[in-house]
Amino acid sequence: MASNQKKYNTYRLTFGEMVYESYSYSVDAEGLKLEFAFRLNDKIVFRPTAAIPRRPFLDFNQPKELIDTLVFNIGMIELVSYWKCVCPPVVRVLPHSLDDEQIRFWKKIYFNGLGEFFYTNGIHASLDEFMTIVSNPQSAVSGQATQALKPSSTQAITNYLVPIGGGKDSVVTLEALRPRGVRPLIMNPRGATTLCAERGGFSQEETLVINRRIDPLLLDLNAKGCLNGHTPFSAMLAFYTLLAATLSGVRNVALSNENSANESTVAGSSVNHQYSKSLEFEDDFRRYVSRYVTPDVNYFSYLRPLSELQIAKLFSQEKKYFDVFKSCNAGSKQDIWCGRCAKCLFAYIILSPFIEPETLNSIFGKSMLDDCELRGFFEELTGHTESKPFECVGTISEVNTALMMAKQRWYTDGNAPKLLKAFEYSGEQVSLKTLFPEHNLSPEELSILKTKLAD
């Protein structure tokens, strides 16, 4: 692991602060458009943008104070992607003032959301010292949550916005909550996300879309050697969903983050690739939104009581999605399973107890457990290395349980795939019946999961 500590220290001396200068938004015939300005110096000003295209169910006529608050907070989470290129020690926030509790909230998101970034870059940083957030005391206060307008007419039939990532998890949420009224939400549509929404029966006009654009200047600086790495994408998505829910008059935003997102990626540390999918983040976010943004949106993860293994079981019943879902980051631009990464191997493993090998091989294009070039990822996923892969994967016990179940179900004749031949696991196996008690579901929502698992 190469160390960028010297580069980090040098950048912080050169670039003393990043300024969140402004946010703006406008509505035209195409929809709602957002723009932000983050300044490093006179020559480096980042201007990321986003847009929400018009849909029949969207109402852009919302109170200005509420939209100001929503868009400002989106800017606060967008900022971290630009901050990380040189990591200035001070962030100066000009559009709104922040109280001490808000500052603690944002520092915690930035620091924990950048845990993988610090770790993989070999950077030693502390929560107290990595950043000081200063807001303009003379600017408007971003203080009390703002009541939205009355729900739109779609509220009667649409109770949940479900962000669609193109993988198995969001499909399970979409199908489980469908009887209660759902609407898919897609950020930066691509093959798998669009096809999953379509396969679920939703047209383009019935799908809420957010188009987010990174400032090309950031990509240029990354190419020139500035610091780069993982940022908390799910936290960024969370703030955008608040705006989307408000415009569509839908109270509930149902994410698809499972219990295993709480497990650290690096054993014995707090470094977690999935921090912004964790229950800790979810609870912090819900408190912040209720107090400082709007009480009208209920953000929660519908799959939080479940393990990855239980989600895989539920997904295996949704055969109409088998040929369109994709979870591979490496192959996302080509809309393929690359077949060479840890994410592909994990998805194959977790589904292996529930989908017969021939069908699974046709989904992924090969028998991934026969590919000995994946042995390194196999060792990481099964807990024989310092860290799990820096991907959204399940716990070590879930992986090992899935492998044992697959071995016992499909390969009783001893003709197991190469990576599975010598595999043995004597640890505690994950139950398919037990639900995790820490979550933010209502009793009715929990009952739906219990019924589906019992089928």
For 16-106, strand residue ranges (E) read 17-28, 31-39, 45-46, 49-53, 90-93, 96-97
For residues 261 and 359, membership in a common domain is answered with no
For residues 266 and 397, membership in a common domain is answered with no
For residues 425 and 373, membership in a common domain is answered with yes
The predicted pLDDT at position 152 comes to 46
The predicted pLDDT at position 209 comes to 98
The predicted pLDDT at position 156 comes to 44
Locate 158 and state its tokens: 């649409």
In a domain, 312, yes or no: no
In a domain, 361, yes or no: yes
Tell me the C-alpha to C-alpha distance, in Å, between residue 428 and each of 67, 189, 255. 49, 40, 28
For residues 128 and 171, membership in a common domain is answered with yes
pTM higher than 0.85 for the full model? yes
For residues 181 and 86, membership in a common domain is answered with yes
Count structural domains, the chain.
2
Buried b (16+ CB within 10 A) or exposed e, 326-364: bbbebbbeebbbbbebbbbbbbbbbbbbbbeeeebbeeb
For residues 126 and 266, membership in a common domain is answered with yes
Buried b (16+ CB within 10 A) or exposed e, 28-67: eeebbbbbbbbbbeeebebbbebbbbebebbeeebeeebb
For residues 247 and 374, membership in a common domain is answered with no
Selection from 357, 455, 373 nearest residue 410 by Cα: 357
In a domain, 256, yes or no: yes
Q: What is the pLDDT along the chain (455 residues), one digit of tens a residue?
A: 568 999 999 999 999 999 999 999 999 999 999 999 999 999 999 999 999 999 999 999 999 999 999 999 999 999 999 999 999 999 999 999 999 999 999 999 999 999 999 999 999 999 999 999 999 877 666 666 665 544 444 444 789 999 999 999 999 999 999 999 999 999 999 999 999 999 999 999 999 999 999 999 999 999 999 999 999 999 999 999 999 999 999 999 999 998 888 887 887 778 888 899 999 999 999 999 999 999 999 999 999 999 999 999 999 999 999 999 999 988 888 899 999 999 999 999 999 999 999 999 999 999 999 999 999 999 999 988 888 878 888 889 999 999 999 999 998 877 889 999 888 887 888 889 999 999 999 999 999 999 999 88
The predicted pLDDT at position 155 comes to 45
In a domain, 323, yes or no: no
The predicted pLDDT at position 140 comes to 66
Locate 396 and state its tokens: 């070590």
For residues 132 and 58, membership in a common domain is answered with yes
For residues 160 and 94, membership in a common domain is answered with yes
For residues 424 and 336, membership in a common domain is answered with yes
The predicted pLDDT at position 153 comes to 46
The predicted pLDDT at position 227 comes to 97
Locate 206 and state its tokens: 């019935």
In a domain, 450, yes or no: no
For residues 35 and 170, membership in a common domain is answered with yes
In a domain, 451, yes or no: no
The residue range of the domain holding 401 is: 328-434
| CA trace torsion 297, 298, 302, 304 (10° rounding) | 130
In a domain, 306, yes or no: no
For residues 179 and 81, membership in a common domain is answered with yes
